[in-house]
Amino acid sequence: MGLVFKQISKDAELKECVDVIRASFLTVAKEFNLTMENAPTNPAFIKFDALLKMREKGIAMFAVLHADTQIGFVAIKKANEDTYYMEKLAVLPEFRHRGYGRMIMDFVSDFVRKNGGKRIGIGIINENTVLKQWYENYGFREIERKKFQHLPFTVCLMSKEI
């Protein structure tokens, strides 16, 4: 059975998305010792108001459903005519390693292409070598690394031409 991508428009849907994002990113937060104090903007600690602000800015947000159960989330933000940013790609831990992440990436690529975009940009924890390799296998290439004083990790900016 495939996945269904439902664009989020209601507050109640956003509340469920908050839970899915937090649960999905909590495994990474634990692995890299991220806390609300040292990485407050990490999606493991996202709050309803943050998603509400994203929606108000016109960022497209999608619940990822499998058999009527939300198993993931992804947001797509138009940066300019050619570039879209993919944010908060999330798959609940119990649904990982089944190809759903790749299906979400395929959906994002199709969405960006249909809307006239030519590239997808992402930012990840550079030290998360497993995730970085996963994105590289999908065709993303490292563009830049940035170290921010307020974060306990290096940010890796990646891009994929579509």
**Which residue, among 12, 19, 17, 157, has the nearest Cα to 85 in the 3D structure?**
157
List 121's β-bridge partners, or say none. 85, 159
Closest CA to 124 of 97, 158, 85: 158
Q: What is the pLDDT of residue 137?
A: 97
**Running along the chain, 162 residues long, what does each successive block of 10 average in pLDDT?**
91 95 98 96 96 96 96 98 97 97 97 98 98 97 96 97 96
Q: Structural domains in the chain?
A: 4-161 (3.40.630.30)
Strand 119-125 relative to strand 83-91, pairing: parallel
Give the predicted TM-score (pTM) of the model. 0.95
pLDDT at site 1: 62
Query: What is the Cα–Cα distance from 106 to 81, expressed in whole angstroms?
Result: 20
- Quote the pLDDT of residue 80: 96
Would you mind telling me the total number of residues written for the chain in this entry? Answer: 162
Q: Which two tokens stand for residue 114?
A: 């249909």
Instruction: Give per-residue pLDDT as tens, 4-42.
Output: 999 998 999 999 999 999 999 999 999 999 999 999 999
Helix (H) or strand (E) holding 146: strand 141-147
The pLDDT of residue 34 is: 98
Task: Give me the pLDDT at residue 86, please.
Answer: 98
Please, how many CA atoms are within 13 Å of residue 48, restricted to the half-sphere of its CB? 7
**Contact indicator for 48, 17 with CB cutoff of 8 Å:** no
